[in-house]
Each structure stands twice: as C-alpha cells, then as structure tokens.
Amino acid sequence: MATKPDTIFRALDRKAAAVTEFTMRQYRTKISTWVVLIVGFMVISLLLLFYVDGMQKDYESIDNDGDSEDWDGDGYPTGQERLYGTDPSSSDSHPGLLVPPVEPDPPEKWIDEDDFDWDSTPGSGQTISVGYDDDGDCDRDDRTDSQKDSNDNNVPCDIILEGPQEGLNDDFTVEADNFVDEDPDDAAYAKEAIHRASVLAIGKLGFVFIIGIFVPLFLATGLIRDEMSSGTMHYMLSKPIARTEVFLYRILGYLGIVWPYLAILVFISAMVTGLAGPSDSFFRFSEFGIWLSVLFAAMLATLVYGMLFCFFGVLWRYGIILAIPFAAWELGMALLSMGVPEASILKFSVIGWALTIVDSAAMLVWPDLDLFIQMGWWGGGGDGTGLFGSSIEGTAPLTYFSSKPSLGSIGPFVSMLIATSVLLVQAAVLWLIGGILFKGKEIE
C-alpha cells in the first residue's frame, strides 16, 4: 500500500523520468543513432576545416592608389616621394637627395598605408564625419581646399557617413574626400569578414539547418512508429499512461540525446573559431554569444522538427516520405532568409524563426556588423569616381550569410524573444496534434 497520497506531479515525474531514461538508453543501443551522430559530427568538422583553411590563407593586399609603385625608377615609392615633396615622376628628384638623405621605404609600406578610421556608427538618418588621412596624400600642400573637401562638408579630408533611414531596409551612404582611407588593410578586413561569414554560415546552415533537420529526420521519425511496427509499443501502452504522455516523454528522451550532442558540437566549433579567428588576444571570447544563440536556435529547431517528424511517423508508417518535401521547403526558406530576410513567407516556416535568433544575436554581439559590411563594399575605393571601386574579399559572403532579423525594427532582443516564443508554440501545437492523432490510433 502507498503510505501517503501521491500528487499527480510525483506520479507524472516517475512516468516521465522512466520513459525518458528508457528512450535515451534505447537510442544508445542502436547503431543507427551513432551513424547519424557521427555523420553530423563529420559535416560540422568539414565545415570547420574549410574555415580553418580560410583563416590560414594569405589575402592579397591591394594598392588602391598605386603609391607603392616607383614610377620613375629612383628606388623610392611614389607615396614616400609625395610625403617628402619630391617629384614622383622624375628620377632626379627623390628623398635620397635631401639633407640628411632618407633611406627608401620598402614598397609594401605603401600598399595598405591608409586604413579605415571609422570609429563611430551613425544612427538612423544621422550624418557623421569619420576618416583620417593616415598617409597625408589628401592633405597635401599642392592640393587646393576644394580638392581636399570633395564631399563639400567644409571638413577637409574626411568621410561623410549617413546611417540608414529608419524603417527602410536601407544601406549606409558613404561619401569620402579623395585620398582618405583609400588604402585599407585588405588582408585584415578579408580575414575578419571571412571569419564572421564562416561563423554565421556554420551556425545557421551547418547547425540550425543541416544538423537541425537531418538529426530529427533520422532519429525522431521512428520514435513511436518503430515501436508500433515492432509490437513493443504494447509493453508501454498496457500501463496506465496516456498516449499523449508517451509521445511527449519519448520526445524528451530524444532531446536528452540530441541536445547534449548539439552542445558538444557547438562548443567544439566555438573553440575552433575562437582560436583560429583573427584576434588581438589568443581567443575571441566575444563570439561565445553567437555560438550560444546557435546552440539555442538549433535546440529549438530539433525540438520542433522532432515533434513534427515523430507526428509524421504516427500519421503514416512511411512518415519519412512526408518529411522529405517538408525538409525541401525548409531548405528553400533557409536560403530565402539569407537573401530576402524580410520575406513574409518565412513566418510559415520553422527555420525562418530559428535563424532570426542567430541573426539577432549577431546584431547584439557585432553592433558594427552593418557598418563593417559597408566598409567592405566601399572597399577604400569610394572616392566617388569609381576609380578603385570594388569590394574587399569576404564582403560578399558576409553580406549573404548575415541578415537583419526579419521582424523589422523592433530590436534584436525582442526579435529573439518573439522567435523563441513562436518556436515553442509550434512545438506545443505539434505535440497536441501528434498526441491526439496517436491517442486515436489503432495499434495492431
């Protein structure tokens, strides 16, 4: 006899813990589980290998203004000759003839000599003046005041930055005086941009999409279906436990395997990108925030997809066939969210909401992201003439893989909260539908 009356919660807890533990142990005994988890690990490892390779590569530094060249053949690069006021087009005039004579600079010194000095970001619709002429080729004595202020803001040798218009999916506007910040450190920019693009690509496509959809596809579809077709479901269902509970606790057991697995993989990725990424210190701690959001988004994705695929398995013996067109739809939505993040059709997907979480976190962790992308597109060539105009390497992938959270201008934190709530509601609704379906299912 029971010595004291049980509350329903204690009874639930016993059943919940029993089924959850049982499900986790059952997964561990199946080879298919390990195959799926190892393949997932290999996919992420491959992406990380591409990333590490990208970080090891040397990016070409481009001399946008051509002042590393020694046009007159006197051994002094043009930039140095201009600095000392000698004639860069005459071999009879160079800083070596000055008193005291100046040793010639190596040409590399004049390749990336005028880096970005964009120290602040304008707010919406706000206009600020940034930039500094590091190499002094704007503020030269032989140039007139109007040549020094080609953007006409009465500040010589600066760059006008205008923030995007509020409410519009607008870009920054950059208007620079000639020869200001015209020769940025392309290699450093490219490395940083490719690092950020990789973190977002591995996080969004690798974890939230590939792992997020394929692991549930193979692990959750059979949660109920396999037990029904093998007849072992009778052992569980001949006990006083509601089928909706069985559905939920089986999902909990599945999450008990998948969530720690995701945590380990995300941790490995965070370590690799933190150590191999460009950084002043030995590790990029700040990006843990992004990786946490990737983990969180992938956990929610595996929850919603797990519920859905388990439900498909209950619905039909060959439920995996229903899951495939759905996965294709989600892939389309994932790609759409990268290109057109504001598309409203994304609200009818799971992945759109899950990726919003990562995008929001990227906005929080990298507040300069938009400006950074704009720098890359401007590329140091933006003197208004299109003379050097081409983007710096890494700008295009970063632009593709980063998107503004699709909820408009409500701010990243609120976007994250809304996306999380929507995903939890999706999971709850799928549990309800799946539970009701399972409850009315005849089990042979």
Partner 1 sequence: MMPDFDQSGLPETKEWVPEQAAPVILLENVSKTYGRIHALTGITLSLSGGVTGILGMNGAGKSTLFKILMGKIKPSSGQVRLFGTNPWKNPAPYARVGFVPEHEKMYDWMTAHDFISTFARLNGLTRDEAKIEADRVLDFVGLLDVAHKQIGRFSKGMRQRTKIAHALVNDPDLIILDEPLQGCDPLARTTIMNVIRELGRMGRTVIVSSHILHEIERITEQIVILHYGRLLALGNLHAIRERLDKIPHRIDIGTENPKELAKSIIEIDSVHGIFFPQGKNLSIQTHNLGSFHSDLPKAIVKSGQKVESIDNPDDDLESILGYLTGGGRM
Q: Which residues lie near partner 1 (CB under 8 A)?
A: 1-2, 5-8, 11, 14-15, 17-19, 21-22, 25-26, 29, 230-232, 234-243, 439-440, 442-444
Q: Which is nearer to partner 1, 85 or 231 (CB)?
A: 231
Give the residue among 69, 354, 92 at the shortest CA–CA distance from 206. 354
> CB 313 → partner 1: shortest distance, Å?
17
Nearest distance from C-beta of residue 256 to partner 1, angstroms: 15
Minimum distance of partner 1 from residue 259's CB (angstroms): 22
Minimum distance of partner 1 from residue 424's CB (angstroms):
21
For β-strands 159-162 and 127-130, DSSP reports them as antiparallel
Name the residue nearer to partner 1 (CB basis): 2 or 99. 2
For partner 1, the closer CB: 28 or 347 = 28
Q: How far is the CB of 10 from partner 1 (least distance, A)?
A: 8
Name which of 25 and 317 has its Cβ closer to partner 1.
Answer: 25
Least separation, in Å, of the C-beta of 261 and partner 1?
20
Task: Report in angstroms the alpha-carbon separations of 203 from 289, 356, 367, 376, 392.
Answer: 12, 12, 18, 22, 23
Within 10 angstroms of residue 219's Cβ, the number of other Cβ atoms is 24
User: In the bound complex, what is the minimum distance in angstroms from residue 323's beta carbon to partner 1?
Assistant: 25
**Cβ contact 180:156 at 8 Å:** no
DSSP labels, 258-302: HHHHHHHHHHHHHHHHHHHS--SSS--GGGHHHHHHHHHHHHHHH
Q: Which is nearer to partner 1, 238 or 344 (CB)?
A: 238
Tell me the longest C-alpha to C-alpha distance in the chain.
110
Cβ-based burial of 277 (10 A; exposed 0-12, middle 13-18, buried ≥19): buried
Closest CB 435 distance from partner 1, rounded Å: 11
3-class secondary structure, 61: coil
Residue whose CB is less far from partner 1, 18 or 43: 18
- Report in angstroms how near the CB of residue 14 gets to partner 1 at its nearest: 5
Cα 146 from Cα 127, distance rounded (Å): 20
Burial environment of residue 89 by CB neighbours within 10 A (0 to 12, 13 to 18, 19 or more)? exposed
Q: Return the structure tokens found at 160.
A: 């006008």
Residues in the chain: 444
Name which of 111 and 236 has its Cβ closer to partner 1.
236
CA-closest candidate to residue 337, choices 351, 317, 320? 351
Tell me the torsion sign for CA atoms 162, 165, 169, 170: negative
Q: How many CA atoms lie within 13 A of 127 on its CB side?
A: 9
Nearer to partner 1 by Cβ, of 6 and 368: the residue is: 6
Which is closer to partner 1, CB of 5 or CB of 73? 5
